[in-house]
A and B are shown apart, each in its own frame.
Chain A
C-alpha cells in the first residue's frame, strides 16, 4: 500500500504556482520522498526527490517539513502541459524495495 496521502484533485491557473501537498506521517529515517507525474496515456515522468533538505531543479521545487511528515511540490509557473496526475512516493534507499508503489496521486488541472 502507498504510504502517502494526497488530495485527489487540484486546479491551478496558467502562469501561477502550483503547490501540491503530500502527507507521509509514517516516513522512516532512511526513506526518500520522490515525485513523479503521469500525463494521460504516457509513462510516469520523474520530477524530483529529496531526503530532508529542500531541493530544486529545472522542473520543480520540493519543500520537506522539518519533521519530514509532509512535503510540497511546487511548480513555479504552471503551464497547460503540466496538467497530469502527480504522485508522491516514499522509498527506502537500498534494501529490497526496488519497485515504485504509486498511490492515487493528485490530478492537477491547469486552466487558461
Chain B
C-alpha cells in the first residue's frame, strides 16, 4: 500500500514564525503535491513537484515555498506565518512521470493553527 506520512497531525504557531511541514512517501512516486483545505473552499493546490529539485506553483502559492531535495520528501514552508494560513494542509503523491495522469494518494493532514 502507498504510504504518505506528514510530520505532525496538529500544529500551533504564532504569527511571524517560520513553519515547516514535512511530507514523506514510500512508494518512489515522482509527483508530490501540497494542498490546503478550508470549509466551503474545498482543496486548493499550493505547490507541486514532478521531480527532485523541481517545483511548480499551484493556484495559491503566495506566502508559501517548497523544497524537494530527495524524491521521497516534499516540504512546505511558511516563511512568516499569518492567521489566514490557519488551515488543514494535505500532502499527496502520485506515480506518473506525466504528473497529471495518475491517482493521488494523500497523507493524514496537518491541522495548522496560527495565533
Chain A positions near chain B (C-beta within 8 angstroms)? 2, 34, 41-46, 49, 91-104
Contact = CB atoms under 8 A, between A and B. Distances in A.
B25 interface: no
A102 B59 CA distance: 14
Interface stretch (B62-70, B73-81, B99-107): B99-107
A98 B103 contact: no
Contacts of B91: 43
A34 B106 contact: no
B111 A46 contact: no
Given A43-B92, A99-B35, 11 more contacts: A2-B42, A41-B111, A43-B109, A44-B43, A44-B90, A45-B106, A96-B100, A98-B48, A98-B99, A102-B42, A104-B42
B98 to A, nearest CB: 6
Interface residues of B, number: 25
B58 interface: yes
A43 B90 contact: yes
6 contacts: A34-B103, A96-B100, A98-B31, A98-B33, A100-B35, A100-B43
A85 B103 CA distance: 18
Contacts of B103: 34, 46, 49
A104 B43 CA distance: 10
B104 A46 contact: yes
Interface of B: 4, 31, 33, 35, 42-43, 45, 48, 58-59, 90-92, 98-101, 103-109, 111
A92 B48 CA distance: 17
B48 to A, nearest CB: 6
Contacts of A46: 103-106
A99 B45 contact: yes
Given A99-B45, A102-B43, A103-B42, A43 B100 contact: no
B48 A99 contact: yes
